[in-house]
Amino acid sequence: MTAVADTLVLLVNTGSPAEPTPAALKTYLAEFLGDRRVVEMPKILWWPILHGVILPKRCEASAARYRTVWTPEGSPLVVTTEKTAQALGSVLGGGFCVRWAMRYGTERVADVLPEALKGGFKRLVVLPLFAQEATQTTAAVYDAVDAVLQKTGWQGEVVRIRHYFDHPDYIEALAEKVRRHWDRKGFLTGKGHLLFSFHGIPQKSVDNGSAYEKECRETARLVAERLGLKKEAWSVAFQSKFGCGEWLKPATADVVPQMAREGVLRLDVMCPGFAADCLETLEEIADELKKSYEAAGGREFRYIPALNDGEDAVKAYAAVVKSALEKKAA
């Protein structure tokens, strides 16, 4: 007899434009960059810049970038998140119903969650697919979730997962991803290096108390420890800076060509903060950063794909969900 699901698990990722066109990018970026969590600037100052300068100039170029990673199925981020949710439902089994949503763009929390909550569930577990907690990601997700809960008046139990940067199963999934990469393509040589590249955030956020940088560095340290790497064989950097303010350093775009100039002959790069491969990993890292490394004299650049919907990733998410439920019940 099939168990009746009493727990709804909602996986949430950032989002994607509906299609790789300037018009779709304008809609998506207006929502994404218009969120006060993403750009912490007074609306009266930011909106003229966003709508008068950035959107008119950026959408065409952004659409061209998205076209380089778009698949026949659609956005790789959306497609992978959907597959991950389906697989997680199978792993968690009876008693759980797993849905997925995006914070921005298509399949938004605001659209998906109200309908999902009509399923008669007693409990909602929210799992933002951001292992390291940040205002720009995790808090933005809970803004959307809370808006739905307030609007619908849903009264069930809510389990909020804030981060899982040091969860043993997540760390092991990352380490195993690297091991399998090395099994296929060869271990790092004496002049090789493993770089952990995380999405950057403004330095101001850290100065104001965000633990994001510490969590990123701890994730990297734990993975390197599992792999048995010496301290000089790995490092951390931050990517995807937006705007002219100071962001976390060192910047991935700066350290990678410098490594090439300093004689790092084989560079492996993984992006542990990205649950699914997307524009920032496939285009910015695997393509553009590789070109930068090679132009500076680097010999072999190897991008290690995100966890995506792999078996180890799904098992890790299941463990994170169950750990959160056990903690809530304690």
174 & 40 share domain: no
2 inside domain: no
18 & 151 share domain: yes
**For 10-55, what is each residue's pLDDT tens digit?**
999 999 999 999 999 999 999 999 999 999 999 999 999 999 999 9
32 & 160 share domain: yes
Domain, as residue range, for 176:
168-304
Residue 2 β-bridge partners: none
Calculate the CA 138 to chain-centre distance. 10
Domain count within the chain: 2
- Burial-class residue 108 by CB neighbours within 10 Å (0-12, 13-18, 19+): middle
**For 293-328, what is each residue's pLDDT tens digit?**
999 999 999 999 999 999 999 999 999 999 999 998
123 inside domain: yes
Give ∠ CA 214-283-35 in degrees, rounded to 5: 60
99 & 196 share domain: no
1 inside domain: no
141 & 172 share domain: no
211 inside domain: yes
**For 45-96, what is each residue's pLDDT tens digit?**
999 999 999 999 999 999 999 999 999 999 999 999 999 999 999 999 989 9
What is the C-alpha to C-alpha distance for residues 3 and 89, in angstroms, rounded to an integer? 13
pTM over 0.85: yes
Strand ranges (E), 36-166: 96-105, 123-128, 157-160
147 & 244 share domain: no
What are the CA-CA distances from residue 280 to residues 3, 48, 238, 276 (Å)? 40, 26, 12, 10
**For 202-217, what is each residue's pLDDT tens digit?**
999 999 999 999 999 9
Segment 116-128 shows an average pLDDT of 97
35 & 93 share domain: yes
271 & 213 share domain: yes
160 & 175 share domain: no
Q: Are 103 and 12 in contact (CB under 8 A)?
A: yes
81 & 148 share domain: yes
Calculate the CA 81 to chain-centre distance. 11
**Torsion over CA of 171, 177, 178 and 184, rounded to 10 degrees?**
160
Closest CA to 112 of 72, 78, 162: 78
Domain holding 219: CATH number? 3.40.50.1400
Residue 73 tokens, joined: 């199925």
Q: Are 109 and 102 in contact (CB under 8 A)?
A: yes
266 inside domain: yes
pLDDT of residue 143: 98
135 & 272 share domain: no
Residue 213 tokens, joined: 């940088």
Q: Are 113 and 26 in contact (CB under 8 A)?
A: no
22 & 136 share domain: yes
245 inside domain: yes
